[in-house]
Chains A and B, each alone.
Chain A
Amino acid sequence: MDTDAHDRRTDTVDESRLVSALKAGNDGAFETLVRTSSPRLLGVARRFARSDEDAQDILQTAYLNAFRALRKFEGQSQLSTWLHRIVVNTALMKLRTQRLKPEESIETLLPAFRADGHHVEQLRDWSVPADALVAQAETRATVRGCIAQLPEAYRSLLLLRDIEERSTRDVAEALEITPAAVKTRLHRARQALSTLLQRRYAAMGVTSPAVAASK
């Protein structure tokens, strides 16, 4: 028998039992859910939070939101996917109350132009070899580190659009800003991240194989 298919069926049965028990208000089911889901969901909350305390606040509020909405859960997505979305929505609500303003400091990470609209400096080609698995793990850590350096309003927007793949309209409504502002902020966030990555890889002396071959 196909082991993966068997495991998936078992998971579905287990999840469906767990959801029934949760809907019936079974205390043990809630404890199982919180103990098994929390590590993954705390990881998601930490992406958006400024501190671990904030991440724990987001997670706690998200669980209470989820418990209140359980009646509406119809199993069209996996329970873990549904919870992930609630954590991100809760983080969004928190961001909205903080009314994040774009900070000046991003200007230094944006490209500079002469008065005639041309680039001020000669740009260097760069890319990151991402073949080997170990290199991929290192690359992920490096990129996450660079994303963490972005000013908060840009960092959270980049996460929502490029990583969580929320739509422009979704993010605009949630943050109470215009869709045009979402697009501009996302573009600047990517530009700033590009500068940070380029600096980082230049400092590490990494050159793309394609660039090396063309020299």
Chain B
Amino acid sequence: MGFGAQPRLSNKPVTCRELTDFIADYLSGETPPDSRREFERHLKICPNCVTYLRGYEETVKLGRLAFDDEEATVPDTVPDELVEAVLSARSKSNAE
């Protein structure tokens, strides 16, 4: 892999592959300043990577949105057998 928390050693321009590998570090601010500047230089000249970065950010946002309404994933009922099993396991462990 190219750069990330470690500065890049190569003087060659950043490729789309390198940028894509380290989007997560870039977004979380873990990229060293030099590498960050190279990253941003690449974004200025590569609409494909701008599109990819936007889609990645949207994905993270949507992933969080998917579970932010806890009520939607709460089942209406819980099997009675499950409740009984928990309570009886407790009684049993108390008796031991």
Contacts and interface: CB of A to CB of B under 8 A. Distances in A.
Interface of A: 25, 27, 30-31, 34-35, 38-40, 42-44, 46-47, 56, 59-60, 63-64, 67-68, 111, 113, 116-119, 122-128, 130, 136-137, 139-141, 143-144, 147, 158-159, 162-163, 183, 186-187, 190-191, 193-194, 197-198
**Closest 6 pairs (CB-CB, A-B):** A117-B15, A143-B66, A194-B59, A38-B78, A117-B17, A43-B73
Contact of A144 (B23, B58, B66, B79): B66
Contacts of A144: 66-67, 73
B23 A111 contact: no
Nearest to A31: B87
B60 A30 contact: no
B34 interface: no
Given A30-B90, A47-B73, A119-B52, 14 more contacts: A34-B86, A38-B78, A42-B82, A64-B93, A111-B52, A113-B15, A113-B20, A118-B15, A126-B55, A126-B58, A128-B58, A136-B69, A137-B72, A140-B67
Given A30-B87, A63-B86, A136 B55 contact: no
A198 B73 contact: no
B24 interface: yes
B25 to A, nearest CB: 8
Given A130-B65, A193-B63, A117 B18 contact: yes
A31 B56 CA distance: 45
